[in-house]
Structure 1
Amino acid sequence: MAESTQNLLKQALTYESLEMDSPMSMLMIDSVLALICKQLSCDIVFAIKSSHSNNTFSPSLDIVDTSTYKVASHSTKHFSQQNLLTQAIEQNKDLIDLVLNLSKPLHIDQQHSSATTEQEQFICQFFAQSIDKNLAISHLEITPAASVGNVSVVLIAMSLQQTTVTIDSQPQSCESFWQSVLDEHCFHLAAAFELKRLSVLLVNKEKQYQELFSHLPMACALIDVKNLVVLQNQVSQNMLKFEVGQSLFDCLRDDDHALLQDTLHIVRQGVLRQAWCEVPLKLGISTHWYKMSFCHALNSQQQLLLMVEDVTERYRLADELTFHSNHDALTGLPNRVQFEGMLDELLASDEAIPACVAFLDLDQFQVVNDLSGHQAGDELLQQVSKRLKQLVRKGDVVARLGGDEFGILMYHSDEVSSQQVAKRICQQLCEHEFTWKKVKHNVSMSIGIATFDPKAKDIYEVMSQADAACRLAKQEGRNRWHYFSSDDPQVHILYTQMVASVDITGALALNQFELFYQLIEPLNHNEVGLHMEILLRMVLEDGSFVSPAIFLPAAERYNLASRVDRWVIDNLLKWGSENLNIWRELSMVSVNLSAMSLADQKFMSWLEMRLMVEPELVDKLCFEITETAAVSQLEQATALIDLLRPLGCKLALDDFGSGFSSFAYLKTLDVDFVKIDGQFVVNVCTDRRDKAIVSAICQLGKDMDFEVIGEFVETAEIGVKLKTLGVDYAQGYAINKPCPLSTLKSGIRSPWLAVRGLDNMIYDI
């Protein structure tokens, strides 16, 4: 038996018998059944094998029956009966299910049967009815199923005799012997079939995985401990051109070896289960970027699985994005970001490289856009960009800073060489003909140049100097250049304003402004509440204040005025809401609006919405605009009046008389107050002409129903004189100097001049 069992297991594991239905497999089963017939001296032996499907992707066995059945038989005689019984068993699934689920051996002979249950009786009846009428079952033994893994086996042994022959009962020992032999063979068969099933499964899975590995859409390879390629799939062969036995490092640049080595080390040492790196590989004449991911292959050779993804397109797009982020899309020149980056590098360099920076502004560019359209303007910018690159020295950098503004960084340059470049540009561009749809346009540039100071606190210092010089060149008539010199008073003024504009932007961002107030004193009538004008101061880091005479011109020149006006109005209304008791005591609060704010529709829309949400505050507000702004933007000034009147706000004309050419616009503007320009007030006590002008304005106010305010009241005598001339209000240092709004504790007025006149004058600064 041992020899037969060993042979059985050997045959079960041989390559030739790995296929379950192979001739070798069938021969093995027949040999075992023949051995059983010989040992038991029986006529027929049946083997019923049940095994579950090898498909690992099948659903749960509890839900779907994936079992398959095989019935094999061997007979020493009664061959026709063997075939009939085998077919009958194969066709009766209910019988097979009952046999495979027997919990104990089933014995049948002519003397007795061990069938006790209805299912066992059905089995006995099936075999009794299935044999030939001339034959009778002298002995039948059925084993319980022997199950090993996914395989179950049942053995059925049978002896038949002619019905005319008297059958002696088999001794009890024969039944035990049959059971013992059948049980042992049944278990060995089940074990052999399970081993064979597992062997087939392993071989099939190996083939399956190799097939999957070969057809994966991603390049994959196995890498041994020496970093050599030992296996790769089809995609890897086509894409990477690796050779089996080739080192991964062969296609890498020397500089990338350390990165790949570190990635491999991280996985092999178990720091991470998976790690990746992105490296360029040179394949032929081109270089591609690949993402190499490594993980353990989970085999005894300690190999790594390499998965490779081509990321060349991402790197190309990243390079393209980097280019676009540093270059102007229209002209292809470096943009402001890259230009400033170059200046930063120059400033941070330890080498004191002499350099100059030029700012260039295309003259009358807006005319081209207005007459010929933006498409013509774009074409002009492209042509100018090409010409500028041709006209600068080798190594100089030309950049488009925005709109029609360009910049040039001239390395190893001084005042003489930089002005030579500027002269060449002005001469050549002036001769450049630009024609668009038969319309000719003149081309010229204004250029400002500044020496790059390596000791400057930042790059914006030299950029502001070049920009100021450029603006001066434009003011002097265009198509010329100007070199920045701190000794030039005109350039110094422009430069101071530009620096102030930078400070304004920072102050707005950091809330570094403070509101002040100055009283406007009634002269000819008594008021309970204060009438005052809101003023603005910029706060420096040391706590000192910057006069608006310095930063407001810069705000208007660099389009920041409306942002400043918004800050003033917003913070004034916040103060009013937080100090509502004081606000209610006030008589009038005047706020200045710049001409730029009048022309800014976005600002005007914001102003309307901001005032509408403060119904308790707006009726005390009076907005001041200069006479120059009102005359130059009469339509916008009228729109402001239309906006303010329904809300209960007042309107005042500031600096009245500075333009003093015509009063025609006063018929259109329905103003509440007119503030006489201070130049007519400071000498009103001694200059009869100033006195006459003030008197005329007062008479005009009476006739046109507006009140008059005199500015620059620096002495009490001026105040008294204005009162006698009919001026309604006075404002100046003689009354009070501007004070922080945060210090105002009451809105109740204390009279400045006594009603009885100069004898009882109260003077309080």
Structure 2
Amino acid sequence: MEDWALARLNTQQIDLSSQSQLEAYGQLTRNELVSICSQLNCDAAFVAFHHVKDYQALGGLLPQQVRWLDSKLQNTDIAEHRVYSGINNLISALLDDSAYLDSVFTQQQFSNVDNALGASILPQQALEALRSLTEYSLAMSQPCKVGDTWLVLGVITHKSLALVLDKHAYHLASSLELQALSFSIAKKDRQYQELFQQLPIPCALIDNDNRVTRQNHVAKNCLSLELAASVFTLLEVDDHPMLHDTLHIVREGLLRQAWCEVPLLISGLRTWFKLSFCHALDEKGQLLMLAEDITERYRLADQLSFHSNHDVLTGLPNRVQFELLLSEALQDNDSSDACVAFLDLDQFQVINDISGHQAGDELLCQVAKRLKLLLRKGDVVARLGGDEFGILMYSASQESATMVAKRICHQLSEHEFQWRKVKHNVSVSMGLAKLDKNAGDIYSVLSQIDASCRLAKEEGRNQWHFYNEDDPQISKLYNQMLASVDIIGALALNEFELFYQLIEPLEKSETGLHMEVLLRMVQKDGTYVSPAVFLPAAERYNLASRIDRWVIEHLLKWGAANLEIWQQLAMVSINLSALSLGDQKFMSWLEMRLMVEPELVDKLCFEITETAAVSQLDQATALIDFLQPLGCKLALDDFGSGFSSFAYLKCLDVDFVKIDGQFVVNVCQDKGDKAIVAAICQLGKEMEFEVIAEFVENVDIGYLLKSLGVDYAQGYAINKPQKLSSLTSGQRTPWLISDASFYCGADI
């Protein structure tokens, strides 16, 4: 700007880095001041202004007629320099004193710089400047504020004039405010554009025709979008409705912002993006689109879904996925017949025991690969758990499924598995069944193939068996499997009930009852299921220890709740299964449970079968060593069922031996049974254990057993099993008349 124009620009309103804006702002001010000089016929005009609370200024001193100044002043160069310098100094003095600008000005002429009013208002520096302008008069407007612009307008003339400047000041203030707003808008738009380009995610503006009107550099590089192209070109046709609905929600104002996750076609590849839309707040009604790459999240989700539906070791579908496929096939009425198979590796535990679990894992992987090669195209093989596999054969008849089973059994039997120079034989047992569309659920089908597989194992392994509901062996196994399901449900819902049956002393005059605790399963209709039905299933499917735990837990709870009755009892017998005897977890629980019931345990007697004792002699001995310090007794049940050798009795310090019922039920008619019972009684006297006879069905048997030396009798002749909850007293009522004069054995 020229020497006679002074500018101090507000950096908050004017971009000093933009020379074009600076020149435009100065040109506006000069033009306005020239117009004021022309309208008022004055020699010069200046302005001092600020924005808001920051005192900054733009001033201009413009000659009306330079030639006029030249003709009036004797020394033109000196006069111009003195005039311009004086007025510039005046403006500087005014702007440097913010308090002066805050004061209320009154329009005033200064023909004499010593005027009292002028001297009292103007700052010292302004007075010094005016002294150099004694030939001129000064007039100033009142402070004027328009928007954020506040200014004072002044004019200088060589003669005394009465001027009204407020209107001109307001007009000038309005012009400067509009210019400042224009600069501000331009600056904000420029900042918006810079921010739009600097955003680290793809951004684009979408018009009402869904075409791209603007995009940042990231969008151009990542999305390969072209200006004026429709955003729908990025999507496959099937995904268009989702994007259309999202745009409609925002445009109709249902939501301020909406988004959708869709795969975009970028360079021929499907890449998942989250597209978010909101109004761009412009007059064109455009939408701002933000695109977030979520491919990695979808990849991780797919990976997680894979792991949740596939076996980690073999990569095959797991039980969850297999059951889902099976369920879909069962519900698909339009599909043709299908067959299902269940495979179980033979003697797999032997491989784990000899070569370790790492070898077992390697074998499972090899078997999985072989199975996939041996199946038909489209069939599915899954690992159901452990060494168990499932196969779903679509569009398969019994004949075609049988051919697949033969091929698998043959090929795997020839598979050589070697681990660290140790060779193992490999074979499988398979159960197959048609996928019955009338089956209630998939678990019925799974039970069928499981029963068929178990039958194949029992028939010698390395073979297959197709399910046939008319096969009595299959029917038995199948019913046991169904019973196992009922057992699990009964345990969870406490659908069992405790019963008791008396064990009557034949010689002793005990005052308290000696009884055996029995178990019944309660059906929904209130009827009871005999242990002969559900206990074999419990043994087969490893549920026996869970049943034993339920019985002991509920018996002790009953004893604690009925302590007076409990204390009257002489003995309470509980059966332990062979599985419980070999279950270390169960035995640890039993030890802890009994130790917290010191007032109850001395009445307990645990019964184990002879078969369990012989097969698990070490565990039986450990049980005796554990029970004796607690005061508990041990009984050997079903004694004589094996009858191969009594040598093991030397290792077992049992308290009672229960004669197997087959030797008792006909003892009055069969001399052999009578001799066996007598021999066991003699053995009991020699080895100091007491003898209990089961299946006592009449009084005659009781008297004969008494004469043979049997200590206790148990059977329907004494009493039938009753609910434990119905027991109101632990006192005993004698069963036999001690002085009976005859019994059935007299005729033998």
Determine if the TM-score, normalized by the shorter chain, exceeds 0.5: yes
Distance (Å, rounded) in 2 between the aligned partners of 1:143 and 1:586: 120
Shift of 1:597: 1.9
Distance (Å, rounded) in 1 between the aligned partners of 2:200 and 2:60: 49
User: Within 5 Å, which residues of 2 pair with 1:404-419?
Assistant: 404-419=387-402
Q: Which of 445, 448, 457 in structure 2 is aligned with 1:474?
A: 457
Q: 1:45 to 1:615 in 2, by over 3 A?
A: farther
Q: 1:17 to 1:352 in 2, by over 3 A?
A: closer
Q: 1:685 to 1:142 in 2, by over 3 A?
A: farther
Q: Which of 447, 453, 457 in structure 1 is aligned with 2:436?
A: 453
Distance (Å, rounded) in 2 between the aligned partners of 1:135 and 1:268: 67
* 2:89–2:126 contact (8 Å) kept in structure 1: no
Distance (Å, rounded) in 1 between the aligned partners of 2:619 and 2:147: 94
User: Within 5 Å, which residues of 2 pair with 1:286-435?
Assistant: 286-351=269-334, 353-435=336-418
* 2:94–2:101 contact (8 Å) kept in structure 1: no
* 2:14–2:180 contact (8 Å) kept in structure 1: no
* 1:99–1:144 contact (8 Å) kept in structure 2: no
SS at match of 1:543: coil
Counterpart in 1 of 2:261? 278
Distance (Å, rounded) in 2 between the aligned partners of 1:297 and 1:471: 70
Letter in 2 for 1:225: N
* 1:44–1:82 contact (8 Å) kept in structure 2: no
Distance (Å, rounded) in 2 between the aligned partners of 1:547 and 1:677: 19
Counterpart in 2 of 1:241? 224
Distance (Å, rounded) in 1 between the aligned partners of 2:105 and 2:621: 111
Distance (Å, rounded) in 1 between the aligned partners of 2:595 and 2:118: 104
Q: 1:378 to 1:15 in 2, by over 3 A?
A: closer
Q: 1:127 to 1:41 in 2, by over 3 A?
A: farther
Q: 1:158 to 1:629 in 2, by over 3 A?
A: farther
* 1:217–1:235 contact (8 Å) kept in structure 2: yes
Shift of 1:158: 6.9
Counterpart in 1 of 2:178? 195
Indicate whether 1:110 and 2:114 are aligned. yes
Distance (Å, rounded) in 2 between the aligned partners of 1:583 and 1:48: 110
User: Within 5 Å, which residues of 2 pair with 1:52-201?
Assistant: 67=54, 69-70=56-57, 72-74=59-61, 78-89=83-94, 92=96, 95-96=97-98, 98-103=99-104, 105=106, 110-113=114-117, 124-127=122-125, 130-131=128-129, 145-155=143-153, 180-181=164-165, 183-201=166-184
Which sits farther off after the overlay, 235-244 or 704-713?
704-713
Letter in 1 for 2:326: L
* 2:344–2:430 contact (8 Å) kept in structure 1: yes
Which sits farther off after the overlay, 202-211 or 739-748?
739-748
Counterpart in 2 of 1:61? none
Q: 1:23 to 1:296 in 2, by over 3 A?
A: closer
Counterpart in 2 of 1:60? none
* 1:99–1:154 contact (8 Å) kept in structure 2: no
TM-score by length of 1: 0.84
Shift of 1:646: 4.8
Which sits farther off after the overlay, 603-612 or 236-245?
603-612
Distance (Å, rounded) in 1 between the aligned partners of 2:671 and 2:228: 109
Shift of 1:406: 1.8
SS at match of 1:542: coil
Counterpart in 2 of 1:48? 48
Q: Which of 652, 676, 683 in structure 1 is aligned with 2:635?
A: 652
Distance (Å, rounded) in 1 between the aligned partners of 2:172 and 2:567: 107
Q: 1:437 to 1:225 in 2, by over 3 A?
A: same
Which sits farther off after the overlay, 428-437 or 700-709?
700-709
* 2:94–2:100 contact (8 Å) kept in structure 1: no
The size of the alignment, in residue pairs, is 710
Indicate whether 1:573 and 2:531 are aligned. no
Counterpart in 1 of 2:250? 267
* 2:48–2:91 contact (8 Å) kept in structure 1: no
Two-structure CA RMSD over aligned residues (Å): 3.4
User: Within 5 Å, which residues of 2 pair with 1:196-211?
Assistant: 196-211=179-194
Structure 2 runs not aligned, ≥5 long: 1-12, 64-79, 744-748
Which sits farther off after the overlay, 704-713 or 98-107?
98-107
Distance (Å, rounded) in 2 between the aligned partners of 1:566 and 1:240: 65
Shift of 1:348: 1.5
* 1:219–1:309 contact (8 Å) kept in structure 2: yes
Shift of 1:40: 7.0
* 1:137–1:158 contact (8 Å) kept in structure 2: no
Letter in 2 for 1:151: T
Shift of 1:643: 4.2
Shift of 1:19: 7.0
Shift of 1:154: 3.4
* 2:93–2:125 contact (8 Å) kept in structure 1: no
Distance (Å, rounded) in 1 between the aligned partners of 2:122 and 2:438: 112
User: Within 5 Å, which residues of 2 pair with 1:364-763?
Assistant: 364-757=347-740
* 2:613–2:620 contact (8 Å) kept in structure 1: yes
Distance (Å, rounded) in 2 between the aligned partners of 1:82 and 1:21: 26
Distance (Å, rounded) in 2 between the aligned partners of 1:522 and 1:16: 117
Distance (Å, rounded) in 1 between the aligned partners of 2:469 and 2:578: 31
* 1:654–1:676 contact (8 Å) kept in structure 2: yes
Distance (Å, rounded) in 2 between the aligned partners of 1:664 and 1:368: 34
Counterpart in 1 of 2:75? none
Deviations 1:126-174 (A, max 9, x none): 346643776669976665543333333234567899xxxxxxxx8xxx7
Shift of 1:31: 4.3
Shift of 1:80: 2.3
Shift of 1:356: 2.4
Distance (Å, rounded) in 1 between the aligned partners of 2:284 and 2:706: 108
* 1:45–1:157 contact (8 Å) kept in structure 2: yes
Which sits farther off after the overlay, 706-715 or 142-151?
142-151
* 2:521–2:530 contact (8 Å) kept in structure 1: yes
SS at match of 1:241: coil
* 1:537–1:545 contact (8 Å) kept in structure 2: yes
Structure 1 runs not aligned, ≥5 long: 1-12, 53-64, 116-120, 162-169, 761-765
Shift of 1:599: 2.3
Q: 1:69 to 1:759 in 2, by over 3 A?
A: farther
Shift of 1:206: 1.0
Q: 1:731 to 1:189 in 2, by over 3 A?
A: farther
Distance (Å, rounded) in 2 between the aligned partners of 1:46 and 1:614: 108
* 1:73–1:86 contact (8 Å) kept in structure 2: no
* 2:661–2:695 contact (8 Å) kept in structure 1: yes
Which sits farther off after the overlay, 604-613 or 18-27?
18-27
Counterpart in 2 of 1:165? none
Distance (Å, rounded) in 2 between the aligned partners of 1:480 and 1:592: 37
* 1:423–1:481 contact (8 Å) kept in structure 2: yes
Letter in 1 for 2:51: S
Letter in 1 for 2:150: S
TM-score by length of 2: 0.86
Letter in 1 for 2:86: Q
Distance (Å, rounded) in 2 between the aligned partners of 1:137 and 1:616: 127
Identity among equivalent pairs (%): 61
